[in-house]
Amino acid sequence: MSQIALPLEQKPSPDQGGYLVTAANAEVHRHLQNWQDWVHHTLILTGPEASGKTTMAAAFEAESGGLSLDDAADHKDTEIFHLWNRANSEQKPLLILAAKPVSEWGITLPDLKSRLAASLHVEIGAPDQAMIDGLFQKYFAIRGLTISQDALRYLEKRMVRSYAMVLELAQKWTR
């Protein structure tokens, strides 16, 4: 009898072990650990889809007591500006997440533009080999599955090397 993996869409969460740290995101991790040193107490974190931004934000909020805004490019200028002011009035660090750089958000509010320009910007790099291996292992473990090293090598030689592709392949894999 073989095990059947149900095609349930699952994403890792902080209570399932947080996020992986490799060379691909080591700089981001360093900045998140040192949030007390952020210029204007704000960090703008950009990176590709499925690169762990939301998971990193949850870990950051739990550790620092700070605030975060996911998919900032999809929010109105006034929403971002009010959250900025709230974070400053409450003296909390603010982590702003987006898939694309600030220059592509279409910000028109001058005060917000200047504040964002003066903030620390960090980008998550493309996944390296260690990140791809670790993510496959993590996604499979979440689904109660394992993957052999041979299967990993087979997939890695034939896949587009992106965070989103690792997630997609892991979700589609069945035994």
Supply the pLDDT for residue 9: 43
Q: What is the pLDDT along the chain (175 residues), one digit of tens a residue?
A: 445 444 444 444 433 348 999 999 999 999 999 999 998 999 999 999 999 999 999 999 999 999 999 999 999 999 999 999 999 999 999 999 999 999 999 999 999 999 999 999 999 999 999 999 999 999 998 888 888 999 889 988 999 999 999 999 988 875 4
8 A C-beta contact, residue 137 and residue 110: no
Supply the pLDDT for residue 137: 92
pTM for the predicted model, two decimal places? 0.85
Radius of gyration of the chain (CA): 18
User: What is the CATH T-level fold of the domain 26-123, as seen in this structure?
Assistant: Rossmann fold (3.40.50)
